[in-house]
Structure formats: C-alpha cells, structure tokens
Structure 1
Amino acid sequence: MPLERFIPFRKRDVANLCEGLLSHDSAVFRTFSTLLVSRIHYQYHEQLEALKNSYSHFDPNKDTRELQPSNERVRKQNQKAFAKGFASLLNAANFEKVTDDDLEAALNEESLFKVRLAVSFDDFEDVVFYRRGDSIKTETVRTFFGLRKKQVSFTNYDKVAVYITFKDEAYFKEKGQTPVTFKPGSTIVKLFQNVPKADLEMLFPNSEVKMRPLDKLIISASAAIGGTVVLVTKLGASLLLMASFLAFWLGFKDDEVELTKQSLITFGIGMGVFGSFIFKEWTKFKNRKIRFMKALSDNLYFKNLDNNAGVFHTLIDAAEEEDSKEALLAYTFLLKCSRVSSEGSAAFCKMQSDSEIAAGGMTLANLDSAIETYFLEELNCALDFDVTDAIEKLVSMQLVEQNGDVFVARTLKDAVKILDDFWDNIYQPV
C-alpha cells in the first residue's frame, strides 16, 4: 500500500514538536509559527472566496438572490472554474484521486453490510472521487443467518470526497425520468468518513438497492415451499372443482359439473387464501428490501461529514492545516541542520553529504528523507512527506534561500521580520 502524504498529527502538535527541536529559541519560534500560520490562512481565505463565488451559480442549497441571474453559459464557465479550484484544494489537503480501477473494484466486490447496489453512470456528466488515509481494517461479520462469525479484512478510507455533476434536463426527459432526489444539471459535493473501499458505490446519489442472488433464492424457496403447502392443504377442493369445470368446458368430460352454493363458497375461500398468501410473500419481499435500504441509510447517516458548500469550507481548513504542518517541518529541519553544521556535528542531518553540511543546507531529497526518517523512527509514523510543496511555499515567502540544489533556512529573527513586514505592507494606500 503506497504511503500517504497526509500528516496524521494536529497542527498544534506539529508546532510543539518543532518548537522542541529548537528549544533554546522557543519564544521566537512561537512568534514565527503564529505569523507563518496566519499568512497561510490569509492565502486560503482568498481561495475560499473564489470557490464560494464560482459555486454560488449552481449551489442547490443557497438562500440568497442574484442581482443579475446567470445564464447557462455563465453557469457552465463557473462549474469548470469550481472543478479546477476544488481539485487544487483537495490536492493541497493531501487527498488522492480514486482511480477508475478502484471504482470498478468497488462495484464488483461484495458490500460489507450485505447490500447490493446498482448505479446508473449514464446520469452523470462528471464524476470524481478523492480519498485520504487508507488502512487495512478487520471486522467480524455474521454469515449463515447469523449462526457463524467470520473475520473479514478490508481496505478502509478515512475520508472520501465526492464531486458529481448531473446531466441536463433534456437527457432525463428523453430517458422518460423525472428525478426526485436531485436537480438535472446540478453539481453536488459531499464528504464522508470511514468508507470501506468495497462500499464506494453507496456514495452515489442515484444508487438503488437490489436483491442479491442469495436473497432471491431464500425468498423464492420460502415462497415455493409455502405455496406448495397452501395448494395441498387449502386449495385441494377448489383446484379439483376448477379442473372438472375446465375439463367439461373443453369437452374432455361428458358429465356436467354442478356448481352448488357450497362449492362456490369453497372455491371463494380457496382463492381468498391463495390471494392472502401471494400478498404475504410480496410484503415479505418489500420488507426485506426496506431493511436493506435502512442499512444503507444508517451507514450513510454516520459516515456523512458535510455537503455542498460546507465541504469546501471543511477542506479549506484541512488544506490550511496540511500546508502549515509541511511548512513548519521543512523550515525547522532546514534550520536545525544549519545549526548543527555550524556547531561541527551532522548527527541530526546524517543524510547530508559533506558539501551540503558545509553549506548549511539540504537538497530536497535529503530534506525529504530526514523528515520521513524522523517520523518513522521517533513517532512510528510512515508517511510520504510533500517536500516540494513545502519548499515552494517557503521560498515564495523568502523564508528559505536556494543555492543551486541546496536550500538554506533564514535565521528565526530574519524570518520573523520578513513575515512581519508582509503584514505591515499588505495593504498600501492608493
């Protein structure tokens, strides 16, 4: 299983970890950390406003009016802009795109909660799934009508984001279908937690509960046995009367069948019993399907985290957290390596070459390896640190200098001054 870019620790914990590595500069580092996180927050606030503006043109839950209603062309343009921005946001939050092979496997594998679903993919204009944090979990499931327990291992996704755009109204009219649960041409965005890979299909908004072959067999066998018993015990006389009447009517029997009041009552009772049996079996089928639908809704109720506009509000916070953690770690490890190299020890940066130690900096590969090794050895956490994204942000903020392939962190005092100057000059008078 490939390593995740997601850092499974809170931003506050990572900041405390970094502060501990630079213990003799704790007060200055806390100021630096506050300024750095505030600047990243400001950048994501701008991204949030852009997403809100583009999504407002097709938000199914909006409660505001438009001064100038947008036409179809404007709506399509904003849908494309939102899709691009949303994908960028998910990447920043360290989500990975779910491949077509994963979706195909989900549709073919048996659901863990024993519900078979059918999805009409033709209803969608665009479908994209993203996931973050996957692990192998084990659960106990009951088989053979609950008489046997079995341990099942499966791949579980900690977070799953769903982006779906439905086809326009003309498509559904041509199909002869009037959607009730969604609006044609709309875009829905959802966020779920703790979703087994085999159950990804339950996240589709148009999924329908279908009977599994085993359920059909159980119901059919029950109906066949019950029907045989009813025919033999309740409908014997009625069937004989009907057979005699048909034989006389078709000319296979010469003796006329006498329909007495008693025989008609017997026949009526028999047909009533048979109709009652059919209704009972049909009700049993419907109740079983309702139980499956309840199992589906119960799972979705506890797995759903957010919907539509609320999703990218949540993801903005997640992306901001990831960027802050990455930037704090990259800067701290570069600064620590600069310190130990000046003190004549390379113990902290054992992945560096002599020339890099002399320069007081690190290459991307060695910085990446140093952070991943530290997390694995000190915190028992294997991850794929996104060093490129972290360094690009630090260089753009002028907190890290690049000398060829080597990157060197500015001193804490210089970094604090640079960040403080940014806030002092963020808005210039016209």
Structure 2
Amino acid sequence: MVAEHFLPFRKSTVVSLCADELPDAERKSFVDFARLLSALVHHEFYARGEAVLDDYQLVDPAEDVRAVHAATREDRAAARVRVEGELVALAEAADFTRIDAAEIERAFAEHSLVKVRLEVDEADIDTAMFFRRGISERTEQVRSLFGLRRRTIRFVSYGKVLVYVAFTERPEAVADRPNGGVLLKLFGNVPRNDLEMLYPSVRVRMRPLDKLLIGVPAVVSGIIVVATKLVASLGPLILLLAFWVGLREEAVRLDQATLITLGAGVAAFGGYLVRQFSKFKNRKIKLMKTLSEHLYFRNLDNDAGVFHHLLGAAEESEVKEAVLAYHFLRTAHRPLTAAELDQRVEDWFRRRWGTTFDFQIRDGLRRLREWELITEHEHRTFAALPLAEARQRLDSHWDNLFRIGPEADDTVLRAG
C-alpha cells in the first residue's frame, strides 16, 4: 500500500511529541513558538476561507442568505472556476489524493460490499472530482446462502472521501433534472469498491441474483395459476371461439355458472400479475433503502460545510509540517538537506510511533523560509534559527499583520 502524505496525529499531539524530546527549560518556549506559528497560519487560512465561501455562495446560494445583487450567468461561471481551483488546492494541502478515472471504473466493475447494482447517469454532469484520504485495510463478515453462511472478507477502505460534482447549466430547467449548480459532500469510512454509490445521479438496478429470486418463483407460480385457474375457466370461451370460426359444429352455451368461473379465473390471473409486480417494486424499494442507509451513516458534511472542514484540515496539516521541519532542523547536529530532513521525520514516526507516511517537506520548508526561521548553507543545506530568535521573528510577523498605517490613523482622526 502506497504511503500517504496524511499524518494521523492532531496538531497538538505533534507539538507535544516534539516538546517531550526537549530539555525541560525549552519546552514552554517551544510550545509558545508553535502557538505563534499556528496563529499565523490560521490568519492566512481565514482570509482564504472568506474568499472561497463568497465564491461558493454565488455558485450554490444558501436559501437562508440574502444577496444584495443578483448574480449573472457569467458571474456564476467565473466563481465556479475559482471554487474548483481552491477546492483542489485545499484538498492537496489537507493531504487528500485525487481519485483517478481508472479507480472509479474499477469500483463499478468489482463487487461492492452493499449488495446493490448501480448505474450512473452522467448526462447532466459537467465536472466530477473525487478525493480520498486515510487508506486502511479492514475486515467484515458478510452473509451468503440466504444468511446460512458467514464469511470474512478483507477490503480497502478510505477514511474520508470528498465528492465534487458540477452540473451542466441549461437555458431551461427540466423537471427532475439538475440544472447548473454544484454538489459538494464529504463521506467517511467508504470501501473502495463502493465509490460509485457516491454519485448523485446513481440508479439502482436489479442484480442477476435479485432477478432470479423474483423471476424463478414467478414463472413457477405463473405456470400453476395458468394450468389450474385460467385454462380451466377459459375452456368454454375457447370452445365458443372455435364454434364461431367454424372449427366446431356443436354450439356452446355460456350460462351463469360458466361466466362466474371465467371471471374467477381472469381475476386469479390478474391478482397473480399484481402480486409479481408488487414483489418487483418492493425488492427495488428495499435496495434503495439499503443504499440510502449506507450513505446516511457515512455522510460527514455537505455544501459550504465541506469547505470549513477542508480549511481546518489544510491549516492543521501545514502547521504540523512547519513545526516538524523546524524541530528536526534545530535539533540536528549539522545543517541538513531537504532529503535528509524528510527521511529523519519519516524514520522517527516509523520507529517511535509505528506510523508510515510520506512527509511533505516542501511545504514545511516554504513556511519557514517565508518567516525567515531558517538559513540556507552551501550544498543546499538548511539550519534553524535559535528558538528565542525564531519566537521573536514570529511575534514580529504577527504584530505586523494588524499594524495600522499613518494614513489609516489620519482617516480615523478626521472622522472623529
């Protein structure tokens, strides 16, 4: 299984693990450093969140939020481009991996854990993107042979799956068909073979087994009904038709008893057809109920809430990467290359905490460069500033975020 970028520890846990390796006199200072670093990253993601949520409101307006100006079709199209670009960027920052078309096709081809056969109507889908995070192998007991046999199966499961679908915008709306707009959902604990269930325009279809369970009893009971009820009651009517066309010379008299028998036979056959149709509909309703329950208990978030989730996950991921990069550079006995730093972090988590992941060293170093917390030496090696100096620089960056310039001060005084 390929290692992911996702590190399955909370930000506070990562800070604590690093601080525990330091001398007692440095621990509080390091925790304060991490809090300042986290505050700076949070401020950046707050601004990104406000921008993308404004655009998302144009693409998929919330019913309880009023708009001052009506958005044009061009406004919505431009906002959708920005939303999709930021969605991909945030998903990558939050350590999600894009699911390619081949993996989706494999989900359709392989048997799903939920015994439902599905088909997707892609006629109104303009863009579809799936992202996953947190791969694990799980086991589950499934029943077969009408519940008489149980077997344990192993399957690959995704901790979180992000689904984005944009629908084609048509000049006129069509009943029961989506027109424009987007769908954004987040699911948890999704088996890899069940990815097709997350499509919004999925349709339930009968499996061959379902058709056999309904069709075989229907054929057998149909033969019995026709042989015992319908043929016996239709006998006089057949003889009458034969007399009318000249195939029989003796006339046939239809008395009241014959007509009652004929009506009973037709009613029995009609009731048989209604029962079989009801069985088919009930089986399909049961399959749709299974699908709905499967999705209901796995749904984590929807619409704008997904962006809130992504913003928080991306922010936490970038803080962890920057804290780890600084800690391992500062505690190293010599400057390290990016590859050496990457390897040290991965080895430490694998050796100490039994966790395998692909550390994103690039993002961590980028943050440290932006805040001037590291120095670059020959042969592209890096060293961290002393902890006291690093805290001071972060504090200076934080103060400058909210510094009010002289022009603003003059404006406030004149307004007063």
Q: TM-score range by the shorter chain?
A: over 0.9
Q: What residue in structure 2 maps to residue 124 of structure 1?
A: 125
After superposition, what is the alpha-carbon deviation per residue over 1:248-296, rounded to whole angstroms, capped at 9, x for unaligned?
A: 2333222222111110100101111111111111111111111111111
Q: What residue in structure 1 maps to residue 398 of structure 2?
A: 423
Q: Secondary structure at the match of 2:59?
A: coil
311, 315, 331: which is aligned to 2:306?
A: 311
Deviation for aligned residue 1:139: 1.0
Aligned equivalents of 2:245, 2:329: Cα separation in 1: 99
AA of the residue aligned to 1:204: Y
Q: What residue in structure 2 maps to residue 348 of structure 1?
A: none
175, 180, 186: which is aligned to 1:178?
A: 175
Q: What residue in structure 2 maps to residue 334 of structure 1?
A: 329
Q: Secondary structure at the match of 2:219?
A: helix
- Which residues of 2 match residues 171-320 of structure 1 at below 5 A? 177-179=174-176, 183-320=178-315
Q: Secondary structure at the match of 1:162?
A: strand
Deviation for aligned residue 1:61: 2.8
AA of the residue aligned to 1:234: K
Q: Secondary structure at the match of 1:384?
A: coil
AA of the residue aligned to 2:397: F
Aligned equivalents of 2:246, 2:42: Cα separation in 1: 92
Change (3 A) 1:94 1:233: same
Q: Give the total of aligned pairs.
A: 403
Aligned equivalents of 2:211, 2:185: Cα separation in 1: 33
Say which is worse superposed, 415-424 or 236-245, in terms of deviation.
Answer: 236-245
Aligned equivalents of 1:322, 1:332: Cα separation in 2: 15
Aligned equivalents of 1:383, 1:277: Cα separation in 2: 61
Could you state the TM-score of these two structures normalised by the residue count of structure 2?
0.94
Deviation for aligned residue 1:60: 4.2
Aligned equivalents of 2:203, 2:388: Cα separation in 1: 61
AA of the residue aligned to 1:179: D
* Structure 1 position 377 matched with structure 2 position 351: yes
Aligned equivalents of 1:234, 1:318: Cα separation in 2: 68
360, 369, 373: which is aligned to 1:399?
A: 373
AA of the residue aligned to 1:40: V
AA of the residue aligned to 1:280: R
Q: What residue in structure 1 maps to residue 70 of structure 2?
A: 69
User: What is the percentage of aligned positions where both structures have the same residue?
Assistant: 40
After superposition, what is the alpha-carbon deviation per residue over 1:182-215, rounded to whole angstroms, capped at 9, x for unaligned?
A: x411111110001111111111111111101111
Aligned equivalents of 2:19, 2:339: Cα separation in 1: 23
| Counterpart contact for 1:14–1:325, Cα < 8 Å | yes
Aligned equivalents of 2:31, 2:166: Cα separation in 1: 44
Q: What residue in structure 2 maps to residue 103 of structure 1?
A: 104
Q: What residue in structure 2 maps to residue 137 of structure 1?
A: 138
Could you state the TM-score of these two structures normalised by the residue count of structure 1?
0.91
Aligned equivalents of 1:168, 1:413: Cα separation in 2: 56
Deviation for aligned residue 1:242: 3.1
- Which residues of 2 match residues 136-175 of structure 1 at below 5 A? 136-170=137-171
385, 395, 399: which is aligned to 1:410?
A: 385
Aligned equivalents of 2:245, 2:182: Cα separation in 1: 64
Q: What residue in structure 2 maps to residue 49 of structure 1?
A: 50
Aligned equivalents of 1:247, 1:368: Cα separation in 2: 93
Aligned equivalents of 1:139, 1:262: Cα separation in 2: 61
| Counterpart contact for 1:368–1:387, Cα < 8 Å | yes
Change (3 A) 1:237 1:90: same
AA of the residue aligned to 1:99: D
| Counterpart contact for 1:134–1:157, Cα < 8 Å | yes
Q: Secondary structure at the match of 1:30?
A: helix
After superposition, what is the alpha-carbon deviation per residue over 1:364-383, rounded to whole angstroms, capped at 9, x for unaligned?
A: 11111111111111101111
Aligned equivalents of 2:243, 2:103: Cα separation in 1: 65
* Structure 1 position 388 matched with structure 2 position 383: no
After superposition, what is the alpha-carbon deviation per residue over 1:212-243, rounded to whole angstroms, capped at 9, x for unaligned?
A: 11111221101001112222333342132232
Q: What residue in structure 2 maps to residue 15 of structure 1?
A: 15
Deviation for aligned residue 1:244: 1.8
Provide structure 2 residue ranges, at least 5 long, that are not aligned to the other structure: 408-416
Q: What residue in structure 2 maps to residue 356 of structure 1?
A: none
AA of the residue aligned to 1:306: D
| Counterpart contact for 1:56–1:62, Cα < 8 Å | no
| Counterpart contact for 1:117–1:209, Cα < 8 Å | yes
| Counterpart contact for 1:166–1:186, Cα < 8 Å | yes
After superposition, what is the alpha-carbon deviation per residue over 1:285-337, rounded to whole angstroms, capped at 9, x for unaligned?
A: 11111111111110111100000100010111111111111111111111110
Aligned equivalents of 1:18, 1:388: Cα separation in 2: 20
Q: Secondary structure at the match of 1:74?
A: helix
Aligned equivalents of 1:194, 1:27: Cα separation in 2: 37
| Counterpart contact for 1:15–1:328, Cα < 8 Å | yes
After superposition, what is the alpha-carbon deviation per residue over 1:61-83, rounded to whole angstroms, capped at 9, x for unaligned?
A: 34222222111111100000110
AA of the residue aligned to 1:410: L
